[in-house]
Amino acid sequence: MSKLYTFLKYLAITLWSIFVVTPFLWALTTSFKTANGVTGGPTYLPWLQYEPSLSGWKSLFSGGGGIDIVKPYLDSLIVTASASVISIVLGSLAAYGLSRFSYRAGFVKNADLIFFFISQRIMPPIVLAIPFFLMLKWLDLLDSKIGLILVYVALLLPIAVWIMVDFFNNIPRQIDEMAMLDGCTPLQAFLRVILPNSLPGMIVAGMFCLIFGWNDFFFAFTLTFTDTQLLPVAVVALNSSVTPWWSLSASALISVAPLLLVAFVVERYLSHGTLAGAIR
Amino acid sequence: MSLQINDLTLAVDGVTHLDGISANFERGKLTTVIGRTLAGKTTLMRAITGLQHLDRGALQLDTQNFSALPAWRRDIAMVYQQFINYPHLNVFENVAFPLRRKKLDEAVIERRVRGVLDKVGLKGFEARRPSQLSGGQQQRVALARSLAREAGILLLDEPLVNLDYKLREQMRSEFRSLLAEQTQTIVIYNTTEPVEAMLLGDTVVVMHEGRILQVGTPAEVFDRPASMQVASVVNDPPMNFIQGHKGESTLELAGGVCLSLPWHLRGLTIGEYWFGVRANELRVGQTSVTGQVTFSEVSGSETFLYVDSPLGPLTLQVQGVHIHALASNLEIGIPAERLFAFESAAQRRLVAAPATGAQL
Q: Using CA atoms, how far apart are residues A119 and A140, in angstroms rounded to an integer?
A: 27
Most confidently modeled of A25-29, A135-139, B150-154? A135-139
Topology of domain B2-225, CATH: Rossmann fold (3.40.50)
Q: Which residues of chain B have pLDDT under 70?
A: 1, 357-360
Among A177-191, A256-270, B89-103, B324-338, which is the least confidently predicted range? A256-270
Cβ–Cβ below 8 Å for B84 and A182: no
Q: Does residue A280 register a pLDDT over 50? A: no
Give the type of residue at B66: F
Which pLDDT belongs to residue B168?
Answer: 81
Determine whether the interchain pair A182/B83 forms a contact, defined as Cβ–Cβ distance below 8 Å. Answer: no
Of residues A184, A197, A280, nearest to B72 (C-beta) = A184
> Are residues B157 and B48 in contact, defined by beta-carbon separation less than 8 angstroms?
no
Out of B75, B131, B145, closest to residue A277 by CB? B131
Q: Which of B71, B87, B131 sits opposite A180 (nearest CB)?
A: B71
Least confident of A117-131, A261-275, B253-267: A261-275
Confidence of residue A272 (pLDDT cuts 50, 70, 90): low
Report whether pLDDT(A164) > 70: yes
Cα distance between residue B60 and residue A137, in whole Å: 60
Asked if the C-beta of B130 comes within 8 angstroms of chain A's C-beta atoms, the answer is yes
Strand segments, DSSP code E, in chain B are 2-12, 15-26, 30-34, 56-61, 64-65, 76-79, 153-157, 186-191, 203-208, 211-216, 240-246, 250-253, 257-260, 271-277, 283-299, 302-309, 312-319, 329-333, 340-343, 350-352
What is residue B216's predicted lDDT score, i.e. its pLDDT?
Answer: 93
Query: B72–A174: do the CB atoms touch at under 8 Å?
Result: no
Q: How many CB atoms lie within 10 A of CB B177?
A: 9
- The shortest CB-CB distance from A196 to any of B78, B88, B145 is to B88
Would the CB atoms of B51 and A177 count as touching at under 8 Å?
yes
Q: Testing the interface with A: which of B74, B75, B88 to mutate, by most A Cβ within 10 A? A: B88
Are β-strands B340-343 and B240-246 bridged in parallel, bridged antiparallel, or unpaired?
A: unpaired
Distance from CA of B97 to the nearest CA of A (A): 7
CA–CA gap between residue B214 and residue A127 (Å, rounded): 68
Angle at A27 between CA A25 and CA A29, to 5 degrees: 70
- The residue in chain B having the minimum alpha-carbon distance to the alpha carbon of residue A196 is B88
User: Taking an 8 Å Cβ-Cβ cutoff, which residues of chain A contact chain B?
Assistant: 172, 174-175, 177-185, 188, 193, 196-197, 274-280
Q: Is B101 on the interface with A (CB under 8 A)?
A: yes
What's the confidence (pLDDT) of residue B90?
A: 94
Contact list in B for residue A174 (CB cut-off 8 A) is 80, 82, 84
Give, for B44, the enclosing helix (H) or strand (E).
helix B41-49
Full-model pTM: 0.80
* Cβ atoms within 10 Å of B30's Cβ, excluding its own: 22
- Which is more confident, A47 or B221? B221
- Whether chain A has a CB inside 8 Å of the CB on B77: the answer is yes
pLDDT, tens digit (0-9, with 9 covering 90-100), for B294-314: 998 888 788 999 999 988 899
Q: Does B84 touch chain A (CB under 8 A)?
A: yes
| Residue from the list B86, B145, B149 with its beta carbon closest to the beta carbon of A193 | B86
pLDDT tens digits for A78-115? 999 999 999 999 999 999 999 988 888 888 888 888 88
Maximum alpha-carbon separation in chain B? 76
User: Which residue segments constitute the domains of chain A, with CATH numbers given?
Assistant: 2-53 (no CATH), 70-270 (1.10.3720.10)
DSSP state of B10: E
Top residue of A181, A191, A202 to mutate, by most chain B CBs within 10 Å, is A181
Note the ipTM here. 0.82
Which runs of consecutive H residues, i.e. helices, occur in B120-269?
Answer: 135-148, 165-180, 194-200, 218-223, 228-233
Under 8 Å between Cβ of B352 and B307: no
pLDDT at residue A29 is higher than 80: yes
Residue of A nearest to B145 (CA): A182
Nearest CA in chain A to B52: A177
pLDDT at res. B275? 92
Q: Would you list the DSSP string of B226-262?
A: SBHHHHHHSSSSPPEEEEEEE-SSEEEEGGGEEEEPP
Among B78, B87, B131, whose Cβ lies nearest the Cβ of A181? B78
B51 shares contact with chain A (CB less than 8 Å): yes
* % chain A with pLDDT above 90: 36
- pLDDT at B358 (0 to 100): 39
**How close is the nearest chain B Cα to the Cα of A195, in Å?**
10
* H-assigned helices in chain A: 2-31, 35-39, 55-62, 70-100, 110-119, 125-138, 145-169, 173-181, 186-189, 195-197, 199-215, 218-222, 231-237, 245-270
Partners of B103 on chain A (C-beta within 8 Å) are none
What pLDDT does B173 receive?
Answer: 80
Interface touch A183/B102, C-beta < 8 Å: yes
* pLDDT value at residue B357: 53
Domain boundaries, chain B: 2-225, 240-352
pLDDT at position A271 is 62
Q: CA-nearest residue of chain A to B101?
A: A183
**Residue B189 falls in which region: left (phi positive, over 0), alpha (psi -120 to 50) or beta:** beta
Q: Which residues pair with B305 in a beta bridge?
A: B296, B316
Give the mutation candidate from B86, B93, B137, B149 for the A interface (greatest A CB count, under 10 A): B86
Residue A143 identity (one-letter amino acid):
D
Which DSSP symbol is given to A50?
Answer: B
CA dihedral B116, B117, B118, B119 (to 10 degrees): 50
**Of B78, B82, B88, which is closest to A280 when you measure between CB atoms?**
B82
- Residue of A211, A209, A191, A219 whose CA lies nearest to A259: A211
In angstroms, the separation between the Cα of residue A107 and the nearest Cα of chain B is 17
Residues of chain A found within 8 Å of residue B70, distances taken between Cβ atoms: 180, 185
**How buried is A113 (Cβ within 10 angstroms: 0-12 exposed, 13-18 middle, 19+ buried)?**
middle
Q: Within an 8 Å CB–CB cutoff, is residue B12 touching chain A?
A: no
Q: Smallest CA–CA separation between A182 and chain B, in Å?
A: 5
Chains A, B: CB contacts within 8 A come to 78
CB contacts, 8 Å: A193 with chain B: 86, 88
Is pLDDT of A49 > 80?
no
Residues of chain B found within 8 Å of residue A197, distances taken between Cβ atoms: 86-88
Name the pLDDT band for A279 (thresholds 50, 70, 90): very low
Mean pLDDT of the residues in chain A: 85
